Homo-oligomer: A and B are copies of this chain.
Amino acid sequence: MKGYKMVQAPQRSTLTRPRADPKPDDAPQTSFIDAIHDTLRDEMRADERVLILGEDVGRRGGVFRVTAGFLDEFGDERVLDTPLAESGIIGSAIGMALNGLRPVAEIQFLDFIHPAMDQIMNEAARIRYRSNNDFQCPIVIRAPFGGGIHGALYHSQSIEAVFVHTPGLKVVVPATPADAKGLLRTAIRDDDPVLYLEHKKMYRLIKGPVPVGDYDVPLGQARIVQEGTDATIVTYGMMVHEAQKAAAEVAQETGASIELIDLRSLKPLDEATVVDSAKKTGKVLVVTEANGPCSVASEVAALIGEQAFAWLDAPVTRVAAPDVPAMPFSPPLEHAFLVDAAKIAAALRRLISF
């Protein structure tokens, strides 16, 4: 194993703690938040090196209650209510990782991650490279992101692109409870820093089946939500659900067969799946709820333009938030700002009739 440990760290084991409160194996529908909660708990049970830290993750169980019950089960050494200091949270998580632990740091809202950008971009992302593989930094950073919950400018941001722009990081965005599980397990087991972004609107809204047992989703593999032949929508996060609505509506109206790709992993990006779909349908809509310029939508559109040029029947079209500091509080303003099924459907109609 290439990984670096300064002294022998306790090994992964499933015997650490008795399993309490097991989910019935046939649990049909789990909410997105429960899938995260359960997986995180199971990972902590399975591996003593995993610990969580962040503001209000202990006594309060997280402001969204993702870590409810953790303090009681794992104790305050592995469930750390930190001081209010994001750079300190990530900086010390890096130190913990350098000394044999597998920290999962929570940033309360992605909107508050900025003070930690130095630690994330200049440190975590560059430790392996700058040391020529002598050190590694296996941390997971969880953060709720996204809009549509009246969170206004500072509880709604989608700034994943700045991390996708940063080599050395991995960035994942589950859109289903199953992926929430599979991607979180993979992220925690990954030997590099992973940002794990949770769309906060999905926490209780989105439910679905969650495979039991050791279910892993590899990073860098997109998910084809539905196959189609006339046009492709590429998106991620909550927009997968909005796009699905839009696709259903437009399919019904026009009879078009729409392929929908959920990227799941923004970095590494599953270029092959995206490009293949573009070649197949010739028409691609790329959707993000983030601001448009230099966004993940820009990246995917540029990629397709480069690699599927000869197959395209229409311009690769982006639907993104306008270049306005996301996101106003008052409902009519928020609605005007937000990308939703209606806006996606409108763009899809134009694309199909191109």
Known: A302-B302, A302-B318. Contact between A122 and B154, CB under 8 A? yes
A40 in the interface, Cβ–Cβ < 8 Å? no
With beta carbons under 8 angstroms apart, the residue of B153, B301, B305, B322 that contacts A126 is: B153
With beta carbons under 8 angstroms apart, the residue of B126, B165, B307, B323 that contacts A315 is: B307
With beta carbons under 8 angstroms apart, the residue of B165, B309, B315, B324 that contacts A306 is: B315
With beta carbons under 8 angstroms apart, the residue of B165, B302, B314, B322 that contacts A316 is: B302
Q: How far is the CA of A269 from the CA of B292 in the complex (A)?
A: 13
**In terms of DSSP, what is the predominant structure of the interface of chain A?**
helix
A317 in the interface, Cβ–Cβ < 8 Å? yes
A314 contacts B309, C-beta separation under 8 Å? yes
Instruction: For the complex formed, measure the closest distance between the CB of A81 and the CB atoms of chain B, giving whole angstroms.
Output: 22
Q: Which bucket holds chain A's interface residue count? A: 35 or more
Instruction: For the complex formed, measure the closest distance between the CB of A293 and the CB atoms of chain B, giving whole angstroms.
Output: 5
Contacts of A125 in B (CB 8 A): 325
Contacts of A240 in B (CB 8 A): none
Contacts of A299 in B (CB 8 A): 293-295, 298, 302
Which of A65-73, A111-119, A138-146, A204-212 is near enough to bind chain B? Answer: A111-119
- Given contacts A129-B324, A164-B293, A299-B302, 6 further A-B pairs with CB under 8 A are A87-B115, A114-B121, A122-B154, A125-B325, A126-B325, A306-B315
- Interface pairs A-B: 10 shortest CB-CB: A114-B118, A309-B315, A301-B302, A305-B305, A162-B162, A298-B302, A165-B294, A167-B323, A161-B294, A126-B325
